[in-house]
Amino acid sequence: MNKEARVQFVINTLKELYPIIPVPLDHKDPYTLLIAVLLSAQCTDVRVNQITPILFAKADNPYDMVKMSVEEIKEIIRPCGLSPMKSKGIHGLSEILIEKHNGEVPQSFEALEALPAVGHKTASVVMSQAFGVPAFPVDTHIHRLMYRWNLSNGKSVAQTEKDAKRLFPRDLWNDLHLQIIWYGREYSPARGWSLEKDIITRTVGKKSIIEEAAKKKV
């Protein structure tokens, strides 16, 4: 199977498994999505979805958020980890949204990435999920699966993103990045992985990975 056929197999399988694609992080608008994505760094989406209702009950917009102290924000978001950095980021970016963007989340990668604690991946998620702009945010699942599927060399997240954008049609990026995340969680996790359950890796995967899995089974 050549690379083009492997890419098409991935697209078709994911579409079949996830015709309707749930968004992992609960939110109601671009601002609450931005905060949720920021909190999700090194934290599970399940945990974030438990914490954001508590935070958003007090402040679900930048104007209310800046009325809280960094310390107050930190106490609420502590279970998400990295709370000192994240609380400063949330407070700081809320101030900037008010000062520079009329309290609205900007609709450009450049403006988003200029906000405190907002990196390229966070900006990509917001651009794709809040504004429908084609983007391919690469998380650990996508990075792992693109390597397992022999579609990227696994050397860096930046390289994986480049490869994904080169191989997959632009109009599918926003769906695919979510579909791959769900697939990674359900069928191709980092731990407790079974090749038998993982139809995509079993069909198009890197030869060395398939062979290694077969050895472990023996």
Task: Report phi then psi at 41, rounded to 5.
Answer: -60, 120
Determine whether 217 is an active site residue: no
Record the tokens describing residue 176, joined without a space.
Answer: 């695919």
CA distance 105 to 86: 17
Catalytic residue among 45, 74, 86, 121: 121
Determine whether 28 is an active site residue: no
Answer whether 183's CB lies under 8 Å from 18's CB.
yes
CA distance 116 to 119: 8
Is 126 strand, coil or helix? helix
Catalytic residue among 45, 139, 163, 198: 139
User: HSE of 78 in the Cβ direction (CA atoms, 13 Å)?
Assistant: 5
Q: Return the active site residues.
A: 121, 139
